[in-house]
Chains A and B, each alone.
Chain A
Amino acid sequence: MSRYARRIDRDLARWREAGWLSADGEAAIRADVAAQTRKVELAPVLGILGAVLIGFGAMSFVAAHWNDMARLFRLALILGGLFGAYGLAGVLFERRHPAFAHAAILVGVALFGAGIMLVAQMYHIDGHAPDAVLTWALGALLAGVILKSDPALALAMLLMGLWSGWEMSDSGTVHWAFLIGWAAVALAMLWRGWVPGLHLSAVVLGLWIINLGYFLFGGHGHAVVVGIGLVVAAAGLAAPAVSQRFSGWAMAAVAYGMMIAFAGLFALQFVETVALDYLILLAILALALVLAGIGYGLRVGSAAMLWLGYGGFSVEVLGLYFKTVGTLLGSSLFFLSAGAIVIGLAAIAYRLHARTHTGLEASP
């Protein structure tokens, strides 16, 4: 039983005893909850994990015995494994075991990647490694789209991130081509209507945007990151007003945008060398952003957003602590004033809250 189901179970019992709920009403609610709760079944999860293990096992076995095998045999092994895995996926789809079929597809995609590595090894190819990762990513995308396999699409997205990260660390410049690869996989996920995949896309894109700060303008592009993050967060705030269609994604956009902006502000404060007055300004901005995030979390009632806010607050304060130790400002003075400011803000927030919820005013 999920946490929500347990909680509603308790609440239903309470409401029934209070006499607010008829027996019919309770039964209807229970039926609705049971229908709405997506069951996370153990078998598919184990199937996917098993596929990952088999993939690794096959790779390490083949790598260990590679030298003892004749070349043609190696080729046959790779291609046979590839066709075998996809064929197995087909059989499993027909027998109505989609979860295991997706696991088999994942094995096929893994073998494709292993094949690229092994062919490179066979012919001592020491080419541009990111190209190999891109080839693998495209293979995963192909399998994900044609066979409608979400796990393969997830792998494609991770590989796109790896491709771009490798390319950037290799060349030292921004890798714009990533956006094309990312969009291709994200569109496939959108077409599938796969929400967890879209979140994965957002995380990968967010990390890429944060990385921009380290590559734009000779590694001093963090202000751009802050700007992008704030625009994304603002778009998330404005989205519900524009159309109800976007409201489902509004909170996610605010959260991702704020995290991107925070990462940029963090780099501006603690990665770059900044003058003290500028640092104070940035710290105020970062703390304001964190508090805005917490405030937003309270308003929409999102525990995740609250925890992100608390996390960001801790990171910021810790960063400032290490930065200010032994400086002119003195960390104790900083924490005293920061504490005073935060408590002041809390008092204002309480007043505002009390004004809108008059019930609170009565209690002293």
Chain B
Amino acid sequence: MTSERSRLWLGIAAVAATQAAVLGWMIWERVHLLASGREIVLEVVPVDPRSLFRGDYVTLGYDISRIAAPSGEPGPHRGEDIYVTLQKGEGDKWTVVGSGPQPPARTTADQVVLKGRIQHAIAASGGSPAQTLVRYGIESFFVPEGTGRELEGLVRQKKLSALIAVDSDGNAGIKGLIVDGKRVYEEPLL
């Protein structure tokens, strides 16, 4: 093989392998999170009465998507990371007990920390306290075509919960959905 030829094929191999490695890394990271992350169950609440169902995915909202703004200066800004601490309460319901720009130094066994991104900061007005809308990256669930409406109905009836895996850094991923206590749409890792 001439040097020009081998250089060409070396380049081809390098580009293809690097891009494949990026995709592989994305998958590995996800599989690792879903397989080893701590499982929590969050009740899905209707988010936007306008359109819950968009294309072939369902937008999932949670009680923890809207939290009281963390205290202290400076206030939260759109696009910033936020760490939200959840505590397991009665009936295995997870509620927000704290939030801040850094993960808390210590947590108890029945607490879990989620890393989110501030989507919107709502200033306090007219007696209602300042609030923060947070996205955790678990708000979209892609469904087989045509089944979105069905899921949307379940969300309205408050029958749907999401099975979430959380890793030690607070990254969260959807492992499956739970309808009336039964696991549905739980997909294999690969």
- Whether A associates with B in a native complex is yes
Which A residues lie at the B interface, using CB under 8 A? Answer: 67, 71-72, 75, 78-79, 82-83, 86-87, 89-90, 93-94, 108, 112, 115-116, 119-128, 135, 139, 142-143, 146-147, 170-173
Q: Are B8 and A173 interface neighbours, CB within 8 A?
A: no
Task: Give chain A residues whose Cβ lies under 8 Å from the Cβ of B18.
Answer: 139, 142
A99 to chain B, nearest CB (A): 16
Within 8 Å by CB of B15, from A93, A122, A143, lies A143
A125 to chain B, nearest CB (A): 6
Which B residues lie at the A interface, using CB under 8 A? Answer: 5, 8-9, 11-12, 14-16, 18-20, 22-24, 26-27, 30, 34, 57, 78-79, 117, 135, 137-142, 144-145, 173-174, 187-188, 190
Task: Give chain B residues whose Cβ lies under 8 Å from the Cβ of A127.
Answer: 137
Q: Are B8 and A124 interface neighbours, CB within 8 A?
A: no
Q: A78-B23, A90-B8, A142-B18 are in contact. List 18 more A-B contacts (CB 8 A).
A: A79-B23, A82-B20, A82-B23, A86-B15, A87-B12, A90-B12, A108-B16, A108-B19, A112-B19, A119-B30, A121-B57, A122-B142, A124-B140, A124-B142, A124-B173, A125-B30, A126-B135, A135-B22
Closest residue of A by beta carbon distance from B79: A171
Task: Give chain B residues whose Cβ lies under 8 Å from the Cβ of A123.
Answer: 27, 30, 34, 173-174
A-B contact pairs, 17 of them (CB 8 A): A75-B190, A79-B23, A86-B16, A90-B9, A94-B8, A108-B19, A112-B23, A121-B142, A122-B27, A124-B140, A124-B174, A126-B135, A126-B138, A126-B139, A142-B18, A143-B15, A171-B78
Q: Considering the chains assembled together, what is the distance between the CA atoms of A292 and B142 in angstroms?
A: 55
Q: Considering the chains assembled together, what is the distance between the CA atoms of A135 and B34 in angstroms?
A: 22
Task: Give chain A residues whose Cβ lies under 8 Å from the Cβ of B57.
Answer: 121
Q: Considering the chains assembled together, what is the distance between the CA atoms of A90 and B6 in angstroms?
A: 10
B176 to chain A, nearest CB (A): 9
Q: Are A75 and B142 interface neighbours, CB within 8 A?
A: no
Task: Give chain B residues whose Cβ lies under 8 Å from the Cβ of A119.
Answer: 23, 26-27, 30
Task: Give chain B residues whose Cβ lies under 8 Å from the Cβ of A173.
Answer: 79
Task: Give chain B residues whose Cβ lies under 8 Å from the Cβ of A90.
Answer: 8-9, 12
A320 to chain B, nearest CB (A): 35
Q: Are B190 and A86 interface neighbours, CB within 8 A?
A: no
Within 8 Å by CB of B20, from A83, A124, A128, lies A83
Task: Give chain A residues whose Cβ lies under 8 Å from the Cβ of B145.
Answer: 67
Task: Give chain A residues whose Cβ lies under 8 Å from the Cβ of B137.
Answer: 125-128
Q: Considering the chains assembled together, what is the distance between the CA atoms of A89 and B9 in angstroms?
A: 10
Q: Are B79 and A124 interface neighbours, CB within 8 A?
A: no
Closest residue of A by beta carbon distance from B17: A83
B12 to chain A, nearest CB (A): 4
Q: Are B20 and A79 interface neighbours, CB within 8 A?
A: yes
Q: Considering the chains assembled together, what is the distance between the CA atoms of A94 and B4 in angstroms?
A: 10
Q: Are A71 and B190 interface neighbours, CB within 8 A?
A: yes
From known contacts A124-B173, A126-B139, infer whether A86 and B23 are also in contact, taking CB-CB under 8 Å: no
* 3 nearest CB pairs, A to B: A171-B79, A126-B140, A86-B16
Task: Give chain B residues whose Cβ lies under 8 Å from the Cβ of A112.
Answer: 19, 22-23
A159 to chain B, nearest CB (A): 14
B15 to chain A, nearest CB (A): 5
From known contacts A67-B144, A171-B78, A171-B79, infer whether A86 and B12 are also in contact, taking CB-CB under 8 Å: yes
Q: Considering the chains assembled together, what is the distance between the CA atoms of A94 and B9 in angstroms?
A: 10
Q: Considering the chains assembled together, what is the distance between the CA atoms of A156 and B128 in angstroms?
A: 46
A83, A86, A108, A147: which has the most chain B beta carbons within 10 Å? A86
B10 to chain A, nearest CB (A): 9
Q: Are A147 and B15 interface neighbours, CB within 8 A?
A: yes
From known contacts A123-B34, A124-B138, A126-B135, infer whether A75 and B12 are also in contact, taking CB-CB under 8 Å: no
Q: Considering the chains assembled together, what is the distance between the CA atoms of A67 and B57 in angstroms?
A: 12
Q: Are A115 and B23 interface neighbours, CB within 8 A?
A: yes
Q: Considering the chains assembled together, what is the distance between the CA atoms of A245 and B14 in angstroms?
A: 36
Task: Give chain B residues whose Cβ lies under 8 Å from the Cβ of A83.
Answer: 16, 20
A253 to chain B, nearest CB (A): 34
Within 8 Å by CB of A89, from B5, B12, B140, B188, lies B12
Q: Considering the chains assembled together, what is the distance between the CA atoms of A153 and B20 in angstroms?
A: 19
B122 to chain A, nearest CB (A): 14
Q: Considering the chains assembled together, what is the distance between the CA atoms of A82 and B17 in angstroms?
A: 9
Q: Are A71 and B188 interface neighbours, CB within 8 A?
A: yes
Q: Are A142 and B19 interface neighbours, CB within 8 A?
A: yes
Closest residue of A by beta carbon distance from B34: A123
Q: Considering the chains assembled together, what is the distance between the CA atoms of A87 and B12 in angstroms?
A: 7
Q: Considering the chains assembled together, what is the distance between the CA atoms of A127 and B187 in angstroms?
A: 19
From known contacts A121-B142, A142-B19, infer whether A128 and B27 are also in contact, taking CB-CB under 8 Å: no
Task: Give chain B residues whose Cβ lies under 8 Å from the Cβ of A89.
Answer: 12
